[in-house]
């Protein structure tokens, strides 16, 4: 069941005047696209505003649960797949008046029993807040699939699901890191760390068949967990390996699956996506986009995405345009994406320069640690702008832990007879289930495969002069804009958010991209 939500919550350190409180509640409206109904909970010194999908089966909000006896409240944005198991473990069957609330109450019951260690038991993509009667606590899942930010001064502490709700305060805005919790009254704690073996994988265990089979079953389980009955499911199909695997599994789980491909007339994605959907008789919509479409959408894309990172914006523009099309066709729905395969299994071309498997493994860990500020930010913000909930099954915690356990030589395979194969173990996992032309297709970036990667860059390079770039490229002492394209995006970003330089320093920037 979808628990898409927008969270805006604050802890008053001292009494605040009504005019300031009015402004705060107005800022909360900036995330109303994350839900079509609003719920407000006031319990001095806290106030919690939640935007969520309307729950027609119950009077209670779907994303909230309470323990009135102990004055505990929890709010969740995202998906937790094992709530039934947690309910059986922690909640007596007659302990809740409302069945839909029972699942989230299980987290409260678990919190009372073992503190915030209960978060380690949750499987899914989520962020949220918990109020225990004394402190307001924000948390994020170990991968960072759902956002949560905070800022504070001597008067107030605030959590919000998106940056745009906090930048009007002109304070430093920080994201909560994956696998961590932040207390309004001060401290930050990590509740999750990857097991030690991930840092030093067993490179002598060469049983690739074992890893391939285990990976296949775990990916199938993750996709199954992400397609609940009663939800309208759509998918993004680039024609590349990752999205095709997700589509291939989902087509057997979803009766009325609709998939979408976006591209220009020069798109390589469209050809492969057409072949696949024709072969398996899947409802398929192709959206053709032009430079004019991309330029017109840029301000909205940057506002939704909350960054000026050129590489991220390039891939977000086609996703924005196709999300708009999906909203027109199906309204508020669930959107499956193939995000994760490149980061976990070595799909990026620059990774071929890492000849040491230890170095490759470390770079994959580096990618994972920044992902909540880059690729996963795109997966969250762009579809959510249209009240569509995107899900990335490959970034399931169970898959991530398995991927980092797999020796790196099974990710980028180098053989004299075969050459080099990126994401080799993922291809091997599904080579007996899918046609080889889809399994062994060369990787395309979302924007590259869509044919749009350099259209924006080339256009912007013609309209920004060398002297303009030289004069404006230095944002601060920490960051220098890398291209005219990034300057163009920075100008839009600055006009929309007017962020503090401290906030800019906390943004994720893609380390490698084609200028």
Q: Which of 44, 216, 203, 222 is nearest to 125 (CA)?
A: 222
Q: Which of 450, 185, 465 is nearest to 315 (CA)?
A: 450
Task: Quote the pLDDT of residue 93.
Answer: 58
Is the distance from CB of 40 to CB of 28 less than 8 angstroms?
A: no
Task: Quote the pLDDT of residue 53.
Answer: 80
Classify 58 as helix, strand or coil.
Answer: coil
Is the distance from CB of 215 to CB of 393 less than 8 angstroms?
A: no
Does 94 score more than 60 pLDDT?
A: no
Print burial letters for 70-93: b (CB count within 10 Å at least 16), e (below 16): eebbbbbbbbbbbbeebbeebbee
What is the rounded CA–CA span in Å between residue 195 and residue 197? 6
What does the CA dihedral 42, 303, 177, 424 come to, rounded to 10 degrees? 140
Which range (15-29, 78-92, 109-123, 374-388) has the least confidence?
78-92
Does 56 score more than 90 pLDDT?
A: no
Q: What is the pLDDT of residues 183-240, one digit of tens each?
A: 999 889 999 988 765 555 554 556 889 999 999 999 999 999 999 888 999 999 998 8
Instruction: Identify the residue with better confidence: 169 or 478.
Output: 169
- Mean pLDDT to the nearest integer, 23-49: 94
CATH no. for 5-190: 3.60.20.10
Task: Quote the pLDDT of residue 229.
Answer: 86
Does 476 score more than 90 pLDDT?
A: no
Packing angle of the helix pair 291-305, 310-330 (nearest 10 deg): 100
Categorize the per-residue pLDDT at 393 as very low, low, confident or very high, splitting at 50, 70 and 90.
very high
Task: Quote the pLDDT of residue 400.
Answer: 95
Q: What is the pLDDT of residues 401-447, one digit of tens each?
A: 999 889 888 999 988 877 899 999 999 999 999 999 899 876 545 44
Q: Which H or E element spans position 243?
A: helix 241-250
Average pLDDT, the chain: 90
Does 364 score more than 70 pLDDT?
A: yes
What is the rounded CA–CA span in Å between residue 160 and residue 155? 17
What is the rounded CA–CA span in Å between residue 284 and residue 278? 9
Secondary structure string (H, E, C) spanning 252-305: CCCCCCEEEEEECCCCCHHHHHHHHHHHHCCEEEEEECCHHHHHHHHHHHHHHH
Q: What is the pLDDT of residues 342-352, one digit of tens each?
A: 999 999 999 99
Which range (43-47, 53-57, 272-276, 371-375) has the least confidence?
53-57
- Mean pLDDT to the nearest integer, 303-312: 96
What is the rounded CA–CA span in Å between residue 200 and residue 212? 20
What is the rounded CA–CA span in Å between residue 147 and residue 138? 11
Alpha helices per DSSP H over 47-127: 83-90, 99-114
Instruction: Identify the residue with better confidence: 64 or 470.
Output: 470
Categorize the per-residue pLDDT at 85 as very low, low, confident or very high, splitting at 50, 70 and 90.
very high
According to DSSP, the residues that pair with 261 across neighbouring strands are 286
What is the domain partition of the chain in residue ranges? 5-190, 196-440+449-504
Task: Quote the pLDDT of residue 303.
Answer: 98
Q: What angle do CA 481, 484, 488 make, to 5 degrees?
A: 85
Does 463 score more than 50 pLDDT?
A: yes
Alpha helices per DSSP H over 331-372: 341-345, 357-370
Share of the chain above pLDDT 70, in %: 90
What is the rounded CA–CA span in Å between residue 499 and residue 507? 11
Q: What is the DSSP string of 144-209?
A: --S--EEEE-SSEEEEESSGGGTGGG-S--EEPPTTEEEETTS-EEE-----GGGTS--TT---HH
- Mean pLDDT to the nearest integer, 14-37: 95
β-pairing, 46-52 vs 37-43, is antiparallel
CA count, 13 A, side-chain hemisphere, 416 = 0
pTM: 0.93
CA distances from 215 to 4, 140, 197, 427 (A): 28, 25, 17, 10
User: Which residues, other chains included, contact 261 with Cβ-Cβ below 8 Å and sequence gap of 6+?
Assistant: 236, 237, 238, 239, 267, 269, 270, 273, 274, 284, 285, 286, 287, 322
Q: What is the DSSP string of 200-220?
A: S--TT---HHHHHHHHHHHHH
Tell me: domain 196-440+449-504, CATH 3.40.50.620, correct? yes
Q: What is the DSSP string of 364-376?
A: HHHHHHHGGGTHH
The CA R_g of the chain, rounded to the nearest whole Å, is 23
β-pairing, 124-131 vs 136-140, is antiparallel
Q: What is the pLDDT of residues 137-188, one digit of tens each?
A: 999 999 999 999 999 999 999 999 999 999 999 999 999 999 999 999 988 9
Task: Quote the pLDDT of residue 97.
Answer: 44
Task: Quote the pLDDT of residue 76.
Answer: 95
- Mean pLDDT to the nearest integer, 249-259: 96
Classify 46 as helix, strand or coil.
Answer: strand
Share of the chain above pLDDT 90, in %: 73
User: Which residues, other chains included, contact 448 with Cβ-Cβ below 8 Å and sequence gap of 6+?
Assistant: none
Walk across the sheet containing 149-152 and list its strands: 37-43, 46-52, 5-12, 156-160, 149-152, 174-175
Q: Which H or E element spans position 50?
A: strand 46-52
Count of residues for the chain?
515
Does 450 score more than 80 pLDDT?
A: no
Task: Quote the pLDDT of residue 266.
Answer: 64
- What single-letter DSSP state applies at residue 340? T
Q: How many angstroms from the chain centroid is the CA of residue 289?
A: 24
């Amino acid at each position: 069941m979808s628990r898409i939500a927008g969270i805006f919550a604050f802890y008053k350190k001292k009494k605040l005047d009504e005019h300031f409180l009015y402004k705060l509640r107005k800022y909360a409206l900036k995330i109303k696209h994350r839900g079509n109904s609003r719920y407000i909970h006031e319990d001095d010194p806290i106030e919690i505003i939640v935007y969520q999908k309307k729950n027609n089966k119950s009077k209670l909000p779907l994303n909230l649960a309470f323990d009135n006896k102990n004055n505990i409240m929890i709010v969740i944005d995202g998906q937790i797949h094992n709530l039934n198991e947690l309910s059986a473990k922690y909640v007596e069957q007659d302990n809740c008046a409302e069945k839909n609330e029972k699942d989230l109450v299980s987290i409260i019951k678990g919190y009372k029993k073992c503190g915030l260690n209960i978060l380690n038991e949750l499987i899914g993509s989520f962020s949220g807040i918990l109020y225990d009667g004394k402190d307001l606590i924000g948390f994020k899942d170990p991968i960072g699939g759902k956002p949560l930010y905070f800022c504070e001064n001597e008067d107030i502490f605030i959590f919000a699901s998106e940056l745009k709700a906090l930048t009007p305060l002109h304070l430093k805005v920080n994201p909560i890191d994956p696998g961590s919790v932040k207390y309004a009254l001060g401290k930050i704690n990590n509740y999750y760390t990857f097991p030690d073996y991930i840092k030093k994988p067993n490179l002598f265990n060469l049983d690739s068949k074992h890893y391939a089979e285990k990976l296949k079953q775990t990916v199938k389980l993750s996709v199954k967990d992400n397609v609940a009955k009663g939800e309208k499911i759509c998918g993004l199909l680039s024609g590349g390996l990752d999205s095709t695997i997700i589509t291939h599994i989902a087509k057997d789980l979803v009766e009325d699956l609709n998939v979408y491909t976006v591209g220009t007339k020069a798109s390589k994605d469209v050809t492969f996506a057409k072949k696949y959907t024709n072969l398996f008789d899947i409802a398929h919509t192709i959206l053709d986009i032009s430079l004019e479409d991309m330029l017109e959408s840029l301000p909205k894309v940057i506002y939704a995405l909350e960054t000026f990172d050129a590489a991220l914006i390039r891939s977000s523009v086609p996703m924005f345009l196709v999300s708009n099309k999906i909203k027109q066709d199906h309204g508020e729905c669930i959107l499956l994406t193939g995000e994760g395969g490149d980061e976990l299994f070595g799909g990026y071309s620059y990774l071929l320069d890492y000849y040491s498997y230890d170095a490759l493994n470390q770079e994959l860990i580096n990618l994972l640690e920044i992902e909540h500020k880059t690729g996963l930010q795109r997966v969250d913000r762009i579809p959510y702008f249209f009240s569509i909930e995107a899900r990335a099954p490959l970034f399931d915690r169970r898959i991530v832990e398995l991927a980092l356990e797999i020796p790196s030589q099974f990710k980028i395979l180098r053989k004299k007879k075969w050459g080099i194969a990126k994401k080799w173990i993922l291809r091997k996992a599904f080579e007996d289930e899918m046609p080889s032309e889809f399994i062994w297709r060369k990787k395309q970036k979302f924007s590259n495969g869509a044919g749009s990667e350099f259209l924006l860059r080339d256009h912007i390079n013609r309209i920004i002069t060398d002297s303009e770039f030289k004069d404006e490229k230095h944002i601060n002492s920490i960051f220098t804009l890398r291209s005219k394209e990034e300057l163009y995006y920075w100008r839009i970003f600055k006009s929309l958010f007017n962020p503090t330089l401290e906030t800019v320093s906390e943004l994720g920037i893609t380390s490698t991209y084609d200028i």
